[in-house]
Structure 1
Amino acid sequence: MSIRPGTFLLLSHSIQARVTLTVAVVSVLVAAVIGAGLCLLIRHRIESDIFMETRGVATEWIGRMEPGRVPPPMPSARVPLVQLVDSRGRVVMAGPMTGDRPLSTVRPSEENRFADVTECSASDRCVMLTAGRVPSLQAWELWKGEPHFVYAGTDQPPALRGHRLEFLVGAGGALLAALWTWTTWRATGRILRPINAIRQRMSEITANDLSLRVPQPSGRDEIAQLARAANQTLGRLESAVTRQREFAAVVSHELKSPLTGLRTGLEEALLYPEIDAREAIARSLPATDRLREIIDELLAFARLRNTPRSSEPVDLGALVRAEAAARTTGVPVHARTEPDVRVLGNRVQLASIVTNLLVNAQRHAIGQVDVSAERAGAQALVVVLDDGDGVAQEDRERIFDPFIRLEAGRRLDPGGSGLGLALCRAIAVAHDGSLCVEDSPRGARFVLRLPLLTG
């Protein structure tokens, strides 16, 4: 099986590979520590049990020795090797399975009369035994003081021979570590599979097609929340891009008419010498004014979206009275305000809302415009009401879109840009408020709501 050169680089950057490698290293270390401890525990337990039995057989035989009489050894099924050896290493008495060679050369002292040892011969046979020294008093009565030694032992269990125990425990630990690593690889891959699907789908999404959505797994875990947040972000991005495209299309359309008129006038002045140049330039000035108005309002939109607004306490009652008093031409404006209607905001921007609403109301009113500033719970309300034809129910939201102008607006103000109400709503939203058209017995009723300043 051939491995591409980039495979190792890909694995080095893979969370699944890194997590699995970390778990593999940790599992090997844990298995090694547990295995070493388990080997020591098993070996110590088996050796302790065997030496306890061999010491019991040796102690029992020494205890049965009497002056002038040494009883025969009594080996057991678990301790079949029993010997009595003198100080010169000769076997004095032995069990049937021991033979005539001493089992060990270990000679315990008077202070430590018993010693547990393991003796291995050249034939790879190992014997675990207890060497016991016959007490001096008994040795004097039986052999005139010559030291004698009792050996009781058994063949070493196969598990303790060589490194068999370590090999078995190590093999089990390696198998456990491999199983743990494999389980981690599978579990990590299953966890990361939705993330890989999200990544693949995100790579397919382009600016030309924002309608795609990432796969959203069921449940309420972190990956499901990530997918939901990604889809919500894509939805907002698609809406923003759609609005931007529509806005750009409308802007290009609105700018095309004055630019076309300006170019036509200038081309006529160049192509036809009989046309007075000053007169042609004078006819082109309204088109430049139209362009300037549109560009100024577009810049106002840009500043509103990209520049943090400065805030100060603003008395809406005083602001409404001042703006109403400034409307000295056209349909009369009647103001009614309550005291202490204060909000936190930008005075210039809030004044532009009131001005735009009053100009719009005067344009459509027949005989009177009423404006009021009052408190309504935790909100401050500015209401502008005219006695004109009003706004149809289906157009009440559409008129706040940029460059949207109804037929009545085009008739009453042919040179308007259709950005005034859109800018007013944008300022209201930037102040955590709202601007809408509500029901009224007659005419149009525009209502501006802003959070009331308290304290």
Structure 2
Amino acid sequence: MSIRPATFLPFPHSIQARVTLTVAAVSVLVAAVIGVGLCLLIRHRVEAEIYRETRRVATEWIGLMERGQVPPPAPTARVPLVQLVDSRGRVVTAGPMAGDRPLSTVRPTEENRFLDVTECPESERCVMLTAARVPSLQSWELWRGEPHFVYAGTDQPPALRGRRLEFLIGAGGVLLAALWTWTTWRATGRILRPINAIRQRMSEINANDLSLRVPQPSGRDEIARLARAANQTLSRLESAVTRQREFAAVVSHELKSPLTGLRTGLEEALLYPEIDARQAIARSLPAAERMQQIIDELLAFARLRNTPCSSEPVDLGALVRAEAARTTGVQVRARTEPDVRVLGNRVQLASIVTNLLVNAQRHASGLVDVSAERAGAQALVVVLDDGDGVGKEDRERIFEPFTRLEAGRRLDPDGSGLGLALCRAIAVAHEGSLCVEDSPRGARFVLRLPLLTG
């Protein structure tokens, strides 16, 4: 028979509960410290005031005692109890409210003639009094040196009786701590309410529906900025997932045609023995090469996005001249400025220039101009052909993967539509840009990269 261990309540995981418990503990501690200090201060103030008055009354009565004559006591409204007691504890004279029993048994000495005490006889209320010793000179004159004592006192105030003061201050401290705790609970709940709404909405978002957005409170505080950042992240995520789905669909479509042709040729060779196998394989090779080309470009595209490239100083002018010299077909005229240097991957930058030149030659009528120059803090590579150009509505679309315009399909039927997309991805990876700008005639491709300084 197994014995289950005792289960303890875990510390609350809620921020609201933790903050409230912390504030409650601090509130109790602060209230206790304030309460103790306030209690001691009140007691000290009240007792100091009472003893100051009782000492004054006792001192004034002793001062009125003359040779052979003791005047009657002069109690006041604040000090109604006044007595003169001899050394044997007998009351010599007393005020009307002091009674015939000594108020205290305290006997001050010659060195310390005044003592402030609180007497609490059994079954009677406490009395706060000052015990004063009559000076020895007056004692010789009045009683031949016998010590006499004056007691001047008053009933202890109700606030100081028992623990009433501590109870009242403690109750006030408890109420104050409870008020702090309740206020903290409400304020924390109000602060965390938008966060709970964001959490609930985030739990509703899944891969099938990324269009939902978290509620965004007004203002410019941390929670509002958090909601805005979450919505911006969701927007980027939705765009990325949408592009990924579109990319997957386009890839599937582009690979479907050559794969279907390859399979058809192979199945035909298997079904019909009279067909020469070598001829069937030869007819299938273009489809396989087409698939290999698409896959190689896709791998390059993915590698560029996921793997950082090595960088080195590259002279764009020299690179442009070298790539222009390698081209064949339509004439390419290069114009470069000296010392146009950037930091990047030489092979990838060369592939951009090569792709742009080949694309320009494909659409040019008779001439392609390429230039590399400085423009402020940027390096510009401009490739301009004298062909029909690109319409404004297509200038961004041609950089999308697998996008091919009608003219491109006619001039290059075997193209994959990934060349320009790969060029732009390389430019972005080098913190630059690639776009098509206005020109009087033909297409004007402009590559911008940050210049290497220092």
Distance 1:158 1:95 in 2: 23
Q: Which residue of 1 aligns with 2:331?
A: 332
Q: Deviations over 1:392-413 (max 9, x none)?
A: 1111110000000011111111
Task: Give identity over the alignment, percent.
Answer: 88
Shift of 1:378: 2.1
Distance 2:199 2:75 in 1: 76
Structure 1 length as normaliser, TM-score? Answer: 0.96
Q: Which residue of 2 aligns with 1:433?
A: 432
Structure 2 length as normaliser, TM-score? Answer: 0.96
Distance 2:124 2:92 in 1: 26
Q: Which residue of 1 aligns with 2:405?
A: 406
Distance 2:138 2:382 in 1: 124
Shift of 1:8: 5.6
For structure 1, which segment, 307-316 or 374-383, has the greater mean C-alpha deviation from structure 2 after superposition?
A: 374-383
Distance 2:202 2:107 in 1: 82
Distance 2:106 2:450 in 1: 100
Q: Which residue of 2 aligns with 1:290?
A: 290
Aligned residues: 448
Shift of 1:237: 0.9
Distance 2:99 2:317 in 1: 122
Listed as ranges, the matches of 1:122-271 within 5 Å are 122-271=122-271
Classify the secondary structure of the residue corresponding to 2:130.
Answer: strand
Distance 2:453 2:106 in 1: 99
Q: Which residue of 2 aligns with 1:3?
A: none
Cα pair distance change 1:276/1:124, threshold 3 Å:
farther
Classify the secondary structure of the residue corresponding to 1:369.
Answer: strand
Distance 2:234 2:213 in 1: 7
Q: Deviations over 1:277-308 (max 9, x none)?
A: 11111111111100110011011111111111
Q: Which amino acid aligns with 2:332?
A: V
Q: Deviations over 1:161-183 (max 9, x none)?
A: 11111111111111111101111
Distance 2:318 2:148 in 1: 123
Classify the secondary structure of the residue corresponding to 2:31.
Answer: helix
Distance 2:137 2:371 in 1: 126
Q: Deviations over 1:168-214 (max 9, x none)?
A: 11111111111011111111111111111111111111111111111
Classify the secondary structure of the residue corresponding to 1:12.
Answer: coil
Q: Which residue of 2 aligns with 1:372?
A: 371
Listed as ranges, the matches of 1:51-130 within 5 Å are 51-130=51-130
Q: Which residue of 2 aligns with 1:444?
A: 443
Distance 2:439 2:8 in 1: 71
Distance 1:186 1:101 in 2: 61
Cα pair distance change 1:202/1:124, threshold 3 Å:
farther
Shift of 1:453: 2.1
For structure 1, which segment, 64-73 or 155-164, has the greater mean C-alpha deviation from structure 2 after superposition?
A: 64-73
For structure 1, which segment, 266-275 or 253-262, has the greater mean C-alpha deviation from structure 2 after superposition?
A: 266-275
Segments of structure 2 that go 5 or more residues without pairing to the other structure are 1-6
Classify the secondary structure of the residue corresponding to 1:132.
Answer: strand
Distance 2:401 2:9 in 1: 55
Distance 1:388 1:318 in 2: 26
Shift of 1:7: 12
Segments of structure 1 that go 5 or more residues without pairing to the other structure are 1-5
Distance 2:23 2:94 in 1: 57
Q: Which residue of 2 aligns with 1:32?
A: 32
Q: Which amino acid aligns with 1:200?
A: Q
Distance 1:294 1:357 in 2: 19
Distance 2:451 2:134 in 1: 106
Classify the secondary structure of the residue corresponding to 2:36.
Answer: helix
Shift of 1:370: 1.7
Q: Which residue of 2 aligns with 1:13?
A: 13
Distance 2:8 2:17 in 1: 11
Classify the secondary structure of the residue corresponding to 1:343.
Answer: strand
Cα pair distance change 1:190/1:259, threshold 3 Å:
same
Classify the secondary structure of the residue corresponding to 2:152.
Answer: strand
Listed as ranges, the matches of 1:306-325 within 5 Å are 306-325=306-325
Q: Which amino acid aligns with 2:214?
A: V
Shift of 1:124: 4.0
Shift of 1:447: 1.3
CA-based RMSD of the aligned residues comes to 1.4
Classify the secondary structure of the residue corresponding to 1:384.
Answer: strand
Distance 2:437 2:137 in 1: 122
Listed as ranges, the matches of 1:381-420 within 5 Å are 381-420=380-419
Distance 2:217 2:400 in 1: 37
Runs (4+) off by over 4 Å: 6-9
Shift of 1:387: 1.7
Q: Which amino acid aligns with 2:432?
A: G
Distance 2:368 2:18 in 1: 72
Distance 1:231 1:12 in 2: 29
Distance 1:52 1:331 in 2: 116
